Amino acid sequence: MKVSVRELKNHLSAYLHRVEAGETIQVCRHKTLVADIVPVGGTGDVRIPGVVWNGRKPRGGRNRPVIPGRSVADMVLEERD
């Protein structure tokens, strides 16, 4: 079934029910197909192999970038002298 973006936006819940029932919805913008909304296959559980969440906030990168030259701390100490 093809629908416009406006039609989809105005009746999103109804179209999502149709997708849940197994129907594929094609979304068009100015008569150009821009997206397919398809039912999730299987259990609907999307997992990436090898990725496990430990339940805590993710840490930032462990490696700081190495910037050549003097550090800001060295420049500040030099200005204070």
Domain ranges of the chain: 1-41
Predicted pLDDT at 43: 61
Chain mean position to CA 24: 22
- 3, 23 in Cβ contact below 8 A? no
List, in order, residues 6 or more apart from 38 with CB less than 8 Å away.
19, 24
Which pLDDT band holds residue 3 (cuts at 50, 70, 90)? very high
Return the CATH fold of 1-41. Answer: YefM-like fold (3.40.1620)
List, in order, residues 6 or more apart from 15 with CB less than 8 Å away.
3, 8, 25, 37
Predicted pLDDT at 21: 93
pLDDT digits (tens, 9 = 90+) for 35-81: 999 998 766 667 778 888 888 887 777 777 778 888 889 999 999 97
List, in order, residues 6 or more apart from 36 with CB less than 8 Å away.
24, 25, 26, 27
0.95 exceeded by pTM: no
Predicted pLDDT at 68: 87
The answer, yes or no, to whether residue 8 has pLDDT greater than 70, is yes
Residue identified by tokens 């190495």 is 66
